[in-house]
Structures are given as structure tokens and as C-alpha cells.
Amino acid sequence: MGPAVSIDQLRSALEEREEPGVAELLDVLGTVMGDAGAAGWSEPIPLKRRVYRLRFNGGHGARSVILKRSEPAVAQRNRWVAERWLPALGLGDHCATLLASASEREGQWLWQIYEDLGEDTLERQHDQPRVAATTDLIAELHVRGAGHALLPEVRSYGRDFGISFFTANVGDAIRGLDRIDGERTPQELRSLRARLLRRMYPLLADMPRRAEVLNEAGGPDTLLHG
């Protein structure tokens, strides 16, 4: 753990990164951690965009949590993954526990506080037993999710990557390209539009065949990892 900082210094560190909802986040952190107000916090460690690791020393020793900022719809989906969908498949103990959430005042962002599972990721530790265990878990997710009664709910609040996803994206691409036309459109852009449309229309025409192949050989609908 790096040099300890006060709660005010932690607030300043996040605000310097122009993070929204810092006051709401720290209020919830203080409630969740109990003795966090008297704890020695670390500087927030950026892991990726909108995600931080936060370490502190409290009355029960060193601890760390993960802070993740998401749009409300994404945050709600993440909550259901951890608290509803994976537990329904008997896999609730295979993800980080969601400890608390804090909504930014205007409701545009939601902070979620997760337990920290550590840094032993496959990127750092990719020995064969770890890779095999990960592969087995992914396969178990696919098998247990196949045809599950929760799939309609997952489709409604998650994303459907079946044939409808492919069809919608091809259609959206064609409609978008169709709008790039007119006398004021540069010739280079019109040429690019024509080339892309020549690729899109065959995909649209081939849709019935693709749907039939997916229906015959694609297997049952299931949850995907990601």
C-alpha cells in the first residue's frame, strides 16, 4: 500500500480526475467500511476507464475494494448478474460480491463498490491449471444457462447476440449509409459508401440462410461470458 491519504485527499484525487458523484461515493464508502473514516486510505489506483482499486488500513487490518462507475442501466445489469442471474445458475460464488452502490446526484452515473478479488488474473498468472479452471467455468456457465427460464429477463435487460442482433446491426448500417448521399457529399465519401453497401446488401440477402443454419446447428440459447 502506498502512502496513506486522508478522506479529503481521496476526495481531491478523484475530483482531479473529474469523476462525478465523489461526495455520494465517499458517503457510502464510509457507511460500508465502518471504521473507514479513521482509516489510512491509499490514492485510488486506476485499473481501466472508470474503474479504481482503493486500499485502506482499518481496525481489522488492510483491505481493498474496487470502485466502478457505470451508466445506471449497465450498473443495474451488473447487479443482476451478481445477485440474481449467476445465483440462479448455482454460480453466485464465482463473481465479486457487490458491497454497495452510490448514485451521482443527477442520476447520470452510478458507482458500485465490489470486493477486491486481487491481482491474480490470467493476464498475470496464465499457467495451465488456471486456464483450465477458467475454461471449465465458462463451459459450466454456458451449459447451465442453456434454455434457462431467466433467459427472457436476460434478453430484456442485457444484450441479445443471436440472429436478431446480427440482423439489426446490418439493417442499421444500411440505413446509416443510405443517409450519406447528395450533391454536397464528397466523392471520396460517396465511393466509400458504395463499397460498404456492396458488402452490406449480400449480408441482408443471406439472412434467411444464416438464420436456418443457426437454428439447426447453433444449439440452445444460453448466457455468454463477458
Asked whether residue 142 carries a pLDDT value surpassing 90, the answer given is yes
Confidence of residue 24 (pLDDT cuts 50, 70, 90): very high
> Which residues of the chain are in CATH 3.30.200 domains?
7-115
Share of the chain above pLDDT 70, in %: 94
For residue range 65-97, what is the model confidence (pLDDT) as tens digits? Answer: 999 999 999 999 999 999 999 999 999 999 999
Per-residue pLDDT band at 61 (split at 50, 70, 90): low
- The stretch 142-161 carries a mean pLDDT of 89
User: Residue 38 above 70 pLDDT?
Assistant: no
Percent of the chain surpassing pLDDT 90 = 61
Q: Per-residue confidence at 219, pLDDT binned at 50, 70, 90?
A: confident
Judge whether residue 141 has pLDDT over 70.
Answer: yes
pLDDT in tens, 167-203: 999 999 999 998 887 778 888 888 999 999 999 999 9
The answer to whether 112 and 95 are in contact (CB under 8 A) is: no
Residue 226, pLDDT score: 61
The pLDDT value recorded for residue 39 is: 57
* 115 pLDDT more than 70: yes
Query: Which pLDDT belongs to residue 67?
Result: 97
Q: What is the pLDDT of residue 187?
A: 86
- Among 9-13, 47-51, 56-60, the least confident range: 56-60
Which of 33-37, 148-152, 193-197 is predicted least confidently? Answer: 33-37
Range 7-115: architecture per CATH: 2-Layer Sandwich (3.30)
